[in-house]
Amino acid sequence: MVLKIVLLLIFYFTFPLVIIYLCKRWTLFKKLGTIALAYGFGLLLGSSGIFPQGSDPYKKALEGRAALPEEEVQLLLTSGKITEDDVYVNKIAASQDMMISIIVPLAFPLLLFSLNFKRWLKFAKEGLFSMVLALISILTIIILGYLLFRNVIPDSWKIAGMLVGVYTGGTPNMASLKVALGVDPNLFLMSNTYDIIMGAVTLIFFITAGPKVFRSILPPFKKEKNIDNEKMVVEYNESESFDNFSDILYRKNLIPLLKAVGMSIVIFAVSFGLSLLFPGIPQAVFVILSITTLAIVASFIKWLNKVEKSFQLGMYLIIVFSFTVASMANLRSIFTVGFLGLFAYVLFAYFGSIVLHLILSKIFGINADDYLITTTAFIYSPPFVPVIAAALKNKDVIITGITVGILGYVLGNYLGILIGYFLKGL
């Protein structure tokens, strides 16, 4: 039993290498993206019947939990309410839950270590007002959606918090908030699945007809003469490298990366230790916010900020997380009528925030290119910025897009938890 679980955990960490290879080798997979593929393969694994499902009494005992505590398992087994097979099922579930609970706190600091906040803020003032309008739009629509759907979606305040995170920072923030808010795996998976489907359709529109449509509605973009073209090229290259996992295991990168991982572990440990001093605050919430704050502070350490591929290593762990959490769900059980309300909420939040941002941009005179690039940076995160910049045929917005995306990574956890608990108290 132990050997099987160890092999499963090894598989979770190694299969993402296959996903990265597919994206590097074939254009179709590259367009789908590593995260989408991780969810797809994870769903196939979880729905394949390979994993034992457990008896009905065991599922009833779970009461929405990922796994049962060992003491409770032994008590139920002794009383004859569950079987030895259920014990095995619970060990698998507990291992999966422990894995995803550890991966995210380790991954998020790695995502933030290499980001140069001072430089990006210096060279991206033009679109920050558009970013503020985007934030207002996202928060307004998600709160309104919560009020509309809270009676038809279980734990709707948690969904609202996650949607705030994913529409400001992207999948890494959504993963962090899943841990911080204790979101049910099926709810998390379906929320992210719906988001990916809508995102794919919207991205095609943004790349094709989007620039022409938005330029017919909003003012034209004005070139900024004072921007350093050399800096522009540097930022463009950095944005392109966000999804570049090559050379990550080269000797010159390996030792510095191990040091960065060590720092990430230290931040995790310190955050966990600090959480024990504040028992009145939910531990997962405190740990995630503490990790985010300490990682931002650590990014100002020069040697740590210059470690190459730390961002990519963090993204690799997010791919592992995505693959693992998707494998914990079963398509036969999640595509039910009970999720129609969730679909409606995600649909409303996704397109409602885009439309409201467009209306506010029209009112306040935001140009079309800044509107589209800030929308892209929030919804899709920095790796997609060069794609939209190319569709706009405007490199001047790349720095703006990256800056907004980076700020989204930073703000996502704070805002997601804040809005989630605010709505819970309504």
Give the pLDDT confidence score for residue 272 in this predicted structure: 92
User: What's the pTM?
Assistant: 0.70
**Which residues are within 8 A (CB) of 153 and not within 5 positions of it... i.e. 6 or more apart?**
159, 341, 342, 345
Give a yes or no: residue 70 inside a domain. no
d(CA 61, CA 43): 24
359 part of a folded domain: yes
* Domain total of the chain: 1
| Residue 361: inside a domain | yes
Range of the domain at 179: 102-424
- Closest-CA residue to 112 (of 283, 263, 234): 263
The amino acid sitting at 250 is Y
Both tokens assigned to 333: 């059980």
Report how far residue 227's alpha carbon sits from residue 92's, in angstroms, rounded to the nearest whole number.
54
345-387 pLDDT, tens digit per residue, is: 999 999 999 999 999 999 999 999 989 999 988 887 766 776 6
- Residue 345: inside a domain: yes
Whether 66 is covered by a domain: the verdict is no
Model confidence pLDDT, tens digit, residues 160-204: 999 999 898 877 788 888 888 888 877 887 887 788 778 777 877
In a domain, 245, yes or no: yes
In angstroms, the CA 162 to CA 183 distance is 9
Token pair belonging to 350: 């996704």
- How is residue 168 annotated by DSSP? T
pLDDT of residue 259: 94
Helices (H), 335-384: 340-364, 368-380
- Chain position carrying tokens 């095609």: 204
- The answer to whether 112 and 355 are in contact (CB under 8 A) is no
Alpha carbons 356 and 141: distance in angstroms, whole number: 8
pLDDT at 386 (0 to 100) = 65
> In angstroms, rounded to a whole number, what is the distance separating the alpha carbons of residues 259 and 244?
20
- Kindly tell me the burial class for residue 212, based on how many C-beta atoms sit within 10 Å of its own C-beta (0-12, 13-18, 19 or more): exposed
DSSP annotation of 80 reads T
**Sequential DSSP letters for 238-284:** HHHHTT--TTTTSHHHHHHHHHHHHHHHHHHHHHHHHHTT-TTS-HH
Element (H, E) at 7: helix 2-25
| Regions of the chain with pLDDT less than 50 | 225, 227, 229-236, 239-240
Is residue 88 in a domain? no
Is there a domain that residue 80 lies in?
A: no
Q: What is the pLDDT of residue 253?
A: 82
Distance spanning both ends of the chain, measured CA to CA: 46
What is the C-alpha separation between 323 and 318, in angstroms, rounded? 9
Positive or negative: CA dihedral 309, 315, 320, 321:
positive
What is the longest distance spanned by two Cα atoms in the chain? 76
Amino acid at 409: Y
Cβ partners under 8 Å of residue 337, min gap 6: none
